[in-house]
Structure 1
């Protein structure tokens, strides 16, 4: 398989061309023939014109690539090596939503041929690839894994907005259904991953390693959030405490904040769901999720307390939210906890306005029913700085004084302006 791909006698296909799939497809397309498959005709048209619908990649990323973008199953059938990179969200009750990955499995089942390889990159709980996806593929294709085709799993490590830790620069974990597939899959990924690959002993091990990467971060951030609540009651600045503690060589440098996005705020629920299915109720992981999921309510309460204490007519109070995306310097608004804060404050009839240099107003409106503010005014009773976008780093005390009333609160969630705000009340997680 590897040799035929390198010699461009066969093609590799990537199913799902979002934040994860498109960078993978383009990286391989610089080395081998690639078919980029997506169910959205609009997205396919944009990518065919060298435009990344997610706004992460520039036109230059498409240059020098041997790739065909399509929604056609007939064209997809021409591939011999399939990579699945579709989303794996949770529903409103935090239950894993496997519809996208199962739909992709159905698509694979319709185009699979003898000798083909299928590798899943979508984040799932251990066992999902073999227990949920494989039966669909085998039933629809009439083929048997191991005998007719090979199956593998290689967890994605794409970090939106991060230009340093990319597919090409981070060690890739790979796995296969047998020794032969493990080696072939490893060699294929080694085409684009400069540091090389880590060969996991099984598909389940590879699935589990991805899950715990984000569970670990989630639990550690939850600890910081809980500490920030405790320190706030003691009138201690959390970031000053973390700065002091960080002088010890083995102190882990995590910080408090709103935990959203498509990974940290979602992946732990996949593991706890599977654990519960096996009769084990997680305590530490779900406790961390509880704390992080409630930080938006905690923030909203702090803002309301300030407005009630410092505003004659709370219904006339104005709050400016700087940052709608789930992290700094990206346009990604998926599972952004910022919008939960906006919704909560508006439920108390507070006038909330949102500004963000990276987010798209039409996307926010479609997803959450909110629009972006064009230009800030000069009479806000509170300003919430949710993420340290590069644009915000040049702001100073004079700027915040110019857009707020005298007794306003500057709520700086990530401590970006610690020791810089002098003329207004300052608060941070």
Structure 2
């Protein structure tokens, strides 16, 4: 007589049933919305003062450079010290930064009128340092909230969904707050949300550092071990490289103002829709993946999704229809969401617990900086080739990178989760 078979039902809300993970997600949602509000208001404020588009680019530079500079040391700290303490300390610095920006607007912005934009850049620089330490600590702390590794994929999916949803809502909330209540009120809400994030992180119990089998290392050896691990692991290196070059070559976001005003003739309202479309696609796909996670042929699906992203970028560059362009950008977000969730899951799965801070730091150096470098590449290529050819070229280069990775990284191509 044949034994009856029982199928284990997937629970799409498994991670959310863990109280400490709910606190983690709430904190992540609050801090992401706060930072998005801050980005919108700071950009508007600085441009109103300087009337110089270059000053907007310097905002990203002021935040990205310190974050990249401290990344390796931040990874070492996350693997050596209490991760909750690092997160709480970093968020407390962000509370100070948000409060300082609010203070600058008191008394009708007299402080900024007297001192110029340099104090604002200084605050953004300080927040970049705090975020540089916060990234590896939060990446390595989240798995410690899970009772078992089987929850990783579901937790990563909900964490990604939370970030994407906040990324969609944040700029809209920032614009509405500024438009209806003024800059001081917008900064006050930014500071308040950061305080909420601090409270949520504070309520999570501290976790002991994972045990390690590593021999005693000097700080220099420990800092470099993250690089050695990534470059010796074909799966992680292939996944990070895919993400890096896809964003580097395929990122058309920096050129969306040109498409909205000159090519699609959609105006500023159309630009808002175009900017939101990829994030909306990402959120919808992330929610779907929470219910139907990727497990079989994950490597092949990741490669196909990055290729799909590249095709969307090529077609977007050639499109002259606003609605078709909107659909293509939403689809690019769908493909990007799948590849990001698979990449995050495999990094968590294949990286030893005691090294996650350092590996996350290496990931942040390459992938975290690719948006800023990709924006520069897009602008530089557009200056040389023209806007449309540069976008088509970027999408084609993304397809080339997928082909090379599929040929070279056999372990990633055959990956099963």
Q: TM-score range by the shorter chain?
A: under 0.3
Structure number with bigger Rg? 1
Could you state the TM-score of these two structures normalised by the residue count of structure 1?
A: 0.21
Comparing both chains, which one has the higher relative contact order based on Cα–Cα distances under 8 Å and sequence gaps of 6 or more? 2
Q: Which has the higher helix share?
A: 2
Could you state the TM-score of these two structures normalised by the residue count of structure 2?
A: 0.22
